[in-house]
Structure 1
Amino acid sequence: MILRVLAALSLLFGAGLSAAPAAAADPVFTDTACPADWPTGVREVRCGMLTVDEARGGASDRRIDIAVVIVKASTPYRDASGHLLPPMVNFHGGPGGASTPGVGGALRYAQQNPDALAVDQDVIFFDQRGGGRGSPSLDCPGVELTDAGPPSDEDRDGLIACLQGWKAQGVDLNQYNAAVIADDVADMVEVLGLEKIDLRGGSYGPRIEAAVITHHPEIVRAAVMQSPWPPEGNWAVGTPEQVSDAVKIILAKCEAQAECAARYPDMQARFETEARRWLAGPVTGNDGGTFNVDDLSAFLMETTYDRVGVRRLPADLDKIIAGDLSAVAEIAENRTYYTEGQHMAHLCKEELPFESRARLAGGAAGDPVAEVLVPSLSRLFDVCDAVGETPAAAIENAPVVTNIPTLFVAAEIDPGCPPPLTEAAARGYANHQVVIVTNATHGETGSSPCTRAMVRDFLRDPSAPVDRSCLPAADTPLDFTLDPATT
């Protein structure tokens, strides 16, 4: 699932085209100019394009570009044997996010927080094929899409038309998936003359890490997976229950605090009643605005992903029940943060073929909060049925088994990548450590000084237990945002 990319960042960059390749089928790295408005003097930065065949093995002669940015370490660290740490490859979430457009912001942040970027080892930001600053970038302008699926039939139809349009232009959507991206990473390692790399990703990024570990384990020294999505996870099936569980966790934390419980009493039961009302048909708010169950679905998914939204959830649900639908309207204003074609190419290849509509609906049945998510998630199957990608091999949906040292960092409150999914996936990693961060939400685990230090120490010595002393205790109260009391 995605670590949300701010749309404004993508406006800073052009797609860029690489020079002609030296020979067909050979991967080529071409240096390019970095954006002029990136701060200088923070770190040495190298920008470039990796050019590879769209389909390996001579299936076609199409070549594609993948954007890469290399940020050099400020004080390279040597381990106990005197060896420099290998570069760390950073994988974005999604599918359908981007990595390189955020480098400018990361450099600006590092001006004030020098330990936040490329201290011990070089960091390679890598845009997965089909998105970011690469070419093609499989965007679908005007189509809305969230992790809860297309929020309307019109968006579903728009996705189908967009994907069919890319196919008509000669794009082979079967070549945009985790296994092929793992081959891109191996090609990058080869052309840059690297021996080993470390892996780090958040959300759907660990799905790409898992593919690299499965298909090219020889190039990996260690891996860090934050708010991870493993290959064996189900995208649609089970997601409604996970969102409902996240809501239950948040509301239980409210119920355990006297002030929150007094302000928003019996919120779980009250919201379940409200969810049934939305399931029955469109709901009109006090201001006359009308929304439907798909709008509520997107609100629940986005809010339980967001650290601010989590803390406001009891107050927002109280308002929704009272007819103030402004929180739902706010989410409905911006649901276009994916590169939608890249997103759906992955789902239709390596996720939805292993799932079914019947299991999706059956798992949510009887839980009104979970049932809210079913209509929009069901549309994903419509899109994939129409596009007709070839399902991935079974290994692409199987748990990973490896000895590569791996640190898993999961958030306690995560509707997309919940801790039980992380703990189950970690069992196949013989040399693993699992950290669950209390009160954290999806993606939040990658931004705190505590987890940054933990990741840095782990990559310095993947064999040593990480220091968890900076983590909040399991019984730490969640800091809710409460609306002012009324008299």
Structure 2
Amino acid sequence: MNRLSVVTLLIPLFVAFLTPVRSQPGVVRQLETCPCQVKIDSTFQTRCAYLIVPENRKKKNGKTIKLPFVLVESKNPAKRKDPVLFTGGGPGTSSLGWVQGAVKSLVINDRDCIAFEQRGTHFAVPNLEGTELGQAVREAYRKNLNKDSMEVVGVKRYKKALEAKGIDLAGYNTDETVSDIHDLLATLKIDSVNLLGISYSGGLMSAVLQRDPTRIRSLILDSPLPIFIPIDEDEPANFAEALNILFDHVERDSTDKARYGNLKARFEQYFTSIEGKTFTFQYLEKGAKDTLQVQYTRNELLDYLVNVMYNASRIKQIPYIITEMMQGNHRYVKGVLDSKLSGYSGPSGMRMSVYCADQTAYHSEQVKQQLYDAYPYLRGYHINDVYQPLCDCWKVPPINPKTKQPFYSSKPALLVDGEMDNATRPLYIDRLHHYMPNSQRVLFKLRSHGVGGPDWARLMQEFLTNPYQKLTSAKPEIVVY
């Protein structure tokens, strides 16, 4: 062999040596088989196990936690090798129940479905659930104490109880969960996956993509909260915008002008006028003999409206409810008190940790004041049940600033929201589309947060089949753009 031949053979080896090989993120972790925490149709092959991961990857103490997942196999012998991986929103909600619906949907026809429980949530070991905050809130209502002050008392008790169990609250945040998901993919040897998220987990799944896109085939995000959005600075305005759309419908469509005419201005005037006022309600707790004289403010009235807004089937009732409230009929407070005084636990520890690390650590109190100046009828109202004074007690470190930054991606994505979403407005899917040019957006009119339903399932399945093909809708109430 001549010298030229030898050099020719060595060049590829030399180039390979100099070229860094980009390895996929994620560490192969130990799995521990466990019973399935949710009941699945027995005709499907199902795998249930714990993923064992560090509680806090920044500490070298070796302490681990267990995160369950449920993998349901498609019955299709020609199924695709890119499963759908779901994790829940909140933050703080359980994820595993999703597979119970997935096995009845179109998605299981072509792909395996995986539900992954986030750290700190219900089926994780440990979970960050507790009763201390709820007990403090109930005490506030029963004794007519200041609600905000008692929530601070409850949070302090809650934190102390969790830390007494040896839980490191600094380990429960989006950055750690992103690492958990990449570890799961590495452990299960999944080279291509479709990520499905809703609300908070819409932003979480985007953060998984941001960390490393090599395994990610596509994203499907329902009513997403992008990580880079400061929701504490937005959410009261989001609620107001959703109401304004409803008021526009009422002004245009209602024939009862005496009751519903000029409803937007009347609503804003009334709820501004009752700022700082205290009302009383005769409330009988379940199992009690004597009624309580419970004090409430406009916050409880707003709580009721916000909760109804989340329920798409009840949105049309809101104009009537508002006119009743403005006439002094506050009977709706009973529904709020039923919730607060019967088993209410408040935001979970996981929700507290994530919101404090992701959001409160990065928002501006000055901007929040500007917001209340623009919407005085919402001044001082905490739409989000995690807010600055509570996080001042919780004291967890913020997530990596890089995680909070927008980023561009050519990956295909399906972005959906409801026109009446009062938490994460359709503006957010427009913002995500700006950074993801291969994304498609779907708007469901007169729907709220978390779209769901058969039309959404059909669009999702069409997208999964060919994520680059333009979707269409023949229904005027479903806008694809």
- What is the distance in 2 between the residues matched to 1:473 and 1:208? 26
2:130 aligns with one of 140, 161, 170: 140
Mapped partners of 2:253, 2:119: distance in 1: 47
1:67 corresponds in structure 2 to: 68
Q: Tell me, which stretches of 5 or more residues in structure 1 are unaligned?
A: 1-24, 79-83, 475-487
Rounded to whole Å, the distance in 1 between the matches of 2:261 and 2:161 is: 51
Provide, for residues 146-191 of structure 1, a one-character-per-residue CA deviation record: whole Å limited to 9, x for no partner: 9xxx964322321232123323433222221112111111111122
Find the aligned partners of 1:377 and 1:440 in 2 and give their Cα distance: 20
> How far apart are 1:280 and its partner, in Å?
2.4
- Judging changes above 3 Å, is the alpha-carbon distance between structure 1 residues 260 and 212 closer, same or farther for their aligned structure 2 residues? farther
Shift of 1:289: 5.7
The 1-side partners of 2:449 and 2:55 are apart by 32
The residue aligned with 1:349 is 357
- CA positional deviation for 1:42: 4.4
Q: Does 1:302 pair with 2:323?
A: no
Contact 1:71 1:124 in 2 (8 A): yes
Displacement after TM superposition at 1:51 (Å): 1.0
TM-score by length of 2: 0.83
1:413 aligned residue: 420
Equivalent-residue separation in structure 2 for 1:259 and 1:116 (angstroms): 42
- Could you tell me the percent identity over the aligned residues? 21
Residues 116, 132 of structure 1: alpha-carbon distance in 2 compared, 3 angstrom cutoff? farther
Against the structure 1 CA distance between its residues 328 and 267, is the aligned structure 2 distance closer, same or farther, given a 3 Å change threshold? farther
Partner of 1:12: none
Matched, 1:387 2:394: yes
User: Secondary structure in 1 aligned to 2:114?
Assistant: strand
* RMSD of equivalent CA atoms: 2.7
1:97–1:339: 8 Å Cα contact kept in structure 2?
Answer: no
**Which residue number in structure 1 is paired with residue 24 of structure 2?**
none
Partner of 2:7: none
For the residue of structure 1 that corresponds to 2:82, the secondary structure is: coil
| Residues 319 and 290 of structure 1, relative CA distance in 2, 3 Å threshold | farther
Q: Distance in 1 between matches of 2:404 and 2:458?
A: 32
Summarize the alignment of residues 256-335 of structure 1 with structure 2, pairs less than 5 Å apart: 256-259=252-255, 261=257, 263-284=259-280, 290-334=295-339
Deviations 1:420-440 (A, max 9, x none): 122012211131111111111
Report what 2:30 is aligned to. Answer: 28
Whole-angstrom distance in 2 between the partners of 1:33 and 1:400 = 39
The structure that has the greater radius of gyration is 2
Q: Hey, what does 1:5 align to over in structure 2?
A: none
Is 1:43 matched up with 2:44? yes
Shift in alpha-carbon separation, 1:396–1:414, aligned structure 2, 3 A:
same
Determine whether 1:462 maps to 2:467.
yes
- Give the corresponding residue for 1:126: 116
Aligned partners of 2:56 and 2:171 also within 8 Å: yes
Out of 320-329 and 187-196, give the one that drifted further.
Answer: 320-329
Deviation at 1:339, TM superposition (A): 5.6
Q: TM-score, normalised by structure 1?
A: 0.82
Aligned residues: 432
2:319 maps to amino acid: P
CA deviation after TM superposition for structure 1 residue 140, in Å: 2.5
Distance in 1 of aligned mates of 2:431 and 2:110 = 31
Distance change (3 Å), C-alpha of 1:383 and 1:338: closer
Distance 1:297 1:258, change over 3 A: closer
Secondary structure, aligned partner of 1:440: coil
Do residues 453 (structure 1) and 443 (structure 2) align? no
Q: 1:210 aligns with which of 195, 202, 206?
A: 206
Shift of 1:263: 4.1
Equivalent residue of 1:413, what SS? Answer: coil
For residues 426-445 of structure 1, the aligned pairs below 5 Å read 426-443=433-450, 445=451
In 1, are the aligned partners of 2:155 and 2:394 still within 8 Å (CA)? Answer: no
Residue type matched to 1:185 in 2?
I
**1:138–1:227 distance in 2 versus 1, CA, 3 Å:** same
Q: 1:351 to 1:166 in 2, by over 3 A?
A: same
Letter in 2 for 1:423: D
